[in-house]
A = this chain, B = another copy of it.
């Protein structure tokens, strides 16, 4: 199974949730049951400067309401400076157990010999989410995830939430448990749906007070460039009631980004530039307004958790 298809399969199942099987999260937030609440979420901050620049621009324009950061990536210091200068920005940690590009790689934050099951033969994180999920020992995933949270905190980042790069931590019960346990320990909300048909042991580490979303949407192959705007505006026009997240990947398609994503058309620089162009377009903004969609943040969702 390819890197993105694990996550995509999960998301598509999520997107197919029947109307009415929702989480009550909107009501817990104080909204009417028919409110359409949406987090527009930029993934992959710190992966590249072009990704950071485009994501910071979209955050500052309010084109996205939230974003998450890849701690093992080289541009973390740039993002930490942004986070400290913009304490209002809704920034979580995009817990990272894969390094998926061909020319440009990163390793773990924890000592390599303590997380050996996470590494390819060159000492980088595995490129493929399926391969990662098969090889990773849950106790080593937990060590790495904890090291990522601690590194972010030490650098002055105050994360509003957790999620999982390429869905590795959504892929099997033992890894979902790592994800939920670390989130509980740090009192952070985390991206999670309850999907009909998914075996219940997938959710066994969850607590009744956890914040559950109703729907997630994310562009996935084989979406064609000419269909980009209509794909996104269709999501907005048909957005169900409840709490949804729309995941986007924002970057400028410059020399750096083309080189990072070389030989990988899915989610490459051009893909990310199209995402940026759509979320900052007047048509997208108009569709948000016309469909009475209220943008929310993970910080608001975090307020639903019991006080530590």
By a beta-carbon cutoff of 8 Å, the part of chain A in contact with chain B is: 48-50, 53, 74-78, 81, 102-107, 109-114, 121-123, 151, 154-155, 252, 254-256, 259-260
For A75, what are the chain B residues with a Cβ–Cβ distance below 8 Å? 103-104
In the complex formed, the residue of B with least CB distance to A115 is B111
Q: A112-B110, A256-B50, A259-B49 are in contact. Are A74 and B151 (CB under 8 A)?
A: no
User: Cα distance A77–B127 when bound, in Å?
Assistant: 13
B112 lies within 8 A of A74 (CB): no
User: Cα distance A211–B155 when bound, in Å?
Assistant: 44
In the complex formed, the residue of B with least CB distance to A112 is B111
User: Cα distance A237–B65 when bound, in Å?
Assistant: 60
B53 lies within 8 A of A77 (CB): no
B256 lies within 8 A of A74 (CB): no
Choose among B121, B151, B154, B256 the residue that contacts A256 (Cβ–Cβ < 8 A): B256
Q: Nearest Cβ distance between residue A81 and chain B, in whole angstroms?
A: 7
User: Cα distance A151–B107 when bound, in Å?
Assistant: 13
In the complex formed, the residue of B with least CB distance to A252 is B255
A78 lies within 8 A of B256 (CB): no
User: Cα distance A105–B114 when bound, in Å?
Assistant: 22
A255 lies within 8 A of B123 (CB): no
Q: Nearest Cβ distance between residue A50 and chain B, in whole angstroms?
A: 7
B112 lies within 8 A of A53 (CB): no
B81 lies within 8 A of A103 (CB): yes
Q: A122-B155, A154-B122 are in contact. Are A76 and B105 (CB under 8 A)?
A: yes
For A74, what are the chain B residues with a Cβ–Cβ distance below 8 Å? 74, 104-106
- The 8 A-B pairs at the shortest CB distance, nearest first, are namely A111-B111, A78-B103, A256-B256, A111-B113, A49-B259, A111-B112, A74-B74, A74-B104
